[in-house]
Amino acid sequence: MNKSIITDMDASDPLAKKRADFEIPAGKIYLNGNSLGPLTRAARARAQETIDQQWGQDLNASWNRHHWIDLPLTTGAKIAALMGAAPSQVVCCDSVSINLFKLLSCALQLQSDRSMVLSQRDNFPTDLYIVEGLSHLLGSSHCSLRLEDAGSLEPALDSRPAVLLLSQVNFRSAELHDISRLTQLAHENGTLVIWDLSHSVGVLPLELDKWQVDFAVGCGYKYLNGGPGAPAFLYVADRHLANISQPLSGWMGHRAPFDFQPSYDACDGIDQFLCGTPPIISMSVLDSALEVFSDVSLAQLRAKSVQLGELFLSLLGQNDSLAELQLQSPENGANRGSQLAFAHPSAYAISQALSAAGVVADFRSPDLLRFGFSPLFLSFADVWESIQILVAILADERYKDPAFKQRLKVT
């Protein structure tokens, strides 16, 4: 493929201007926004304002003056808009793991005559660990975990699980589940669904209300660019709100926290899912990072993310030296999320050599090299450039340098 075609693609990209909203370090091609989204200019400004003015000067008055107390709901409403959800059903709080604990407990309450949670063997591990933890707490007669491979999930619904717990996008392969279809099939079997949207929100068009999803969770630090350890979010369909009580009954979920009553009386709305004091600095940063979505559509983002992935694959296919990378993601862009995974016995060393050459990708144990395509800040020229660098690294085998084999604590 001729480089001028790439230049034309960038010139006609309606999202190209969005890159200016981000602070991507010079000389870096960041193919890791699927793991940690980069800093936006809005987030930097808001962090400074929150620290210098709100905390530094206004101190405690900021809970009211700067509406800190409302942030979980106002930020949640912005995330709801990205998911086809009415704003009253989403709150920003805690981590995905903690939110899953709350939602699983509620889903099991609603299904008092059932106990089995059906999930996928290669789901993101924390999702499975939380079911295990709840099973230890409640006893296996109230909560048990059944794991199936992706292809066996639909037949397993015949066994009438209490809950179907899945991630829409597989964190390794990026293989996509059809939320609408699986939610409908689950409901036909009397099963409630919890979707983990950590790899979906901000890059895939979602219609949670239309698809009749019961519950969902997701994180703020990937495609939402909310920063390291950004708070997560949870979604609960309105129809369930009156019939559940979440177990982490902290004071922020109380209907009158500043009455300091000795007994718990939960809020009626989605705010019943709050537990403790919200992390205002990181939630403010996430809240402002969401501004980049205000003038783009998810259909546009999805279209560009697929195009970036297709370009990567087609450039790869033109280079024989890259044949040693085994594609582990669906070949058809319509069937995968916004990343590509390749198996290689030296995947870790290659990821380190890439990073030394300015291309940030990541490694997933045991042998996967993962490239994420965030459509808000990547250009088609970035994809072209990253392929040239990958070809060079594989051709001169610099990844075999022992320095690139040293495993760091976070991989």
What CA–CA distance (Å, rounded) separates 117 from 97?
Answer: 16
Minimum CB distance to ligand PLP smaller for 95 or for 189: 95
CA angle 128-123-390, nearest 5°? 135
Active-site annotation holder among 22, 221, 293, 348: 221
Minimum CB distance to ligand PLP smaller for 93 or for 390: 93
DSSP strand pairing (215-218 vs 192-196): parallel
Q: Are the beta carbons of 292 and 18 closer than 8 angstroms?
A: yes
The size of the interface with ligand PLP (CB under 6 A), counted in residues, is: 13
**Of 186, 232, 350, 394, which one interacts with ligand PLP (CB under 6 A)?**
232
Beta bridge partners of 241: none
Q: Are the beta carbons of 209 and 229 closer than 8 angstroms?
A: no
Helices (H), 164-261: 179-188, 238-241
In angstroms, the Cα distances linking 256 to 262, 269, 270 are 11, 13, 15
CB of 337 to ligand PLP, least distance (A): 10
DSSP secondary-structure letter at 230?
A: -
Judged by CB under 6 A, does residue 101 bind ligand PLP?
no
Q: Give residues with Cβ within 8 angstroms of 22, minimum separation 6.
A: 38, 39, 40, 41, 225, 292, 376, 377
**Of 7, 88, 95, 249, which one interacts with ligand PLP (CB under 6 A)?**
95
Minimum CB distance to ligand PLP smaller for 274 or for 390: 274
Active-site annotation holder among 124, 233, 293, 404: 124
CB of 253 to ligand PLP, least distance (A): 19
CB of 279 to ligand PLP, least distance (A): 13
The residue type of 349 is A
CB of 32 to ligand PLP, least distance (A): 12
**Of 219, 252, 298, 387, which one interacts with ligand PLP (CB under 6 A)?**
219
Measured between its terminal Cα atoms, the distance across the chain in Å is: 33
Active-site annotation holder among 13, 94, 127, 196: 196
What CA–CA distance (Å, rounded) separates 400 from 411?
Answer: 18
Catalytic (active site) residue 222:
yes
Q: Are the beta carbons of 344 and 369 closer than 8 angstroms?
A: yes
Q: Give residues with Cβ within 8 angstroms of 70, minimum separation 6.
A: none
Ranges within 152-211 binding ligand PLP (CB under 6 A)? 167, 171, 196, 198-199
Helix (H, G, I), strand (E, B) or coil at 376: coil
Minimum CB distance to ligand PLP smaller for 171 or for 235: 171
CB of 245 to ligand PLP, least distance (A): 22
CB of 122 to ligand PLP, least distance (A): 11
Catalytic (active site) residue 221:
yes
What CA–CA distance (Å, rounded) separates 225 from 272?
Answer: 26
What CA–CA distance (Å, rounded) separates 284 from 56?
Answer: 15
CB of 368 to ligand PLP, least distance (A): 14
Helix (H, G, I), strand (E, B) or coil at 369: strand
Q: Which stretch binds ligand PLP (CB under 6 A): 45-53, 123-131, 257-265, 318-326?
A: 123-131
**Of 7, 88, 97, 307, which one interacts with ligand PLP (CB under 6 A)?**
97
Number of neighbouring beta carbons within 10 Å of residue 310 = 16
Active-site annotation holder among 370, 377, 399, 404: 370
Minimum CB distance to ligand PLP smaller for 285 or for 311: 285
Catalytic (active site) residue 405:
no
Number of neighbouring beta carbons within 10 Å of residue 75 = 28
What CA–CA distance (Å, rounded) separates 48 from 45?
Answer: 5
Which pair of structure tokens corresponds to residue 113? 């005559």
Minimum CB distance to ligand PLP smaller for 171 or for 380: 171
CB of 208 to ligand PLP, least distance (A): 16
Q: Which stretch binds ligand PLP (CB under 6 A): 124-132, 182-190, 201-209, 257-265?
A: 124-132
Site pattern 362..401 for ligand PLP (x: CB under 6 A): ----------------------------------------
Minimum CB distance to ligand PLP smaller for 54 or for 200: 200
Residue ranges that bind ligand PLP, judged by CB under 6 A: 95-97, 124, 126-127, 167, 171, 196, 198-199, 219, 232
Which residues have a catalytic role annotated?
124, 196, 221-222, 370
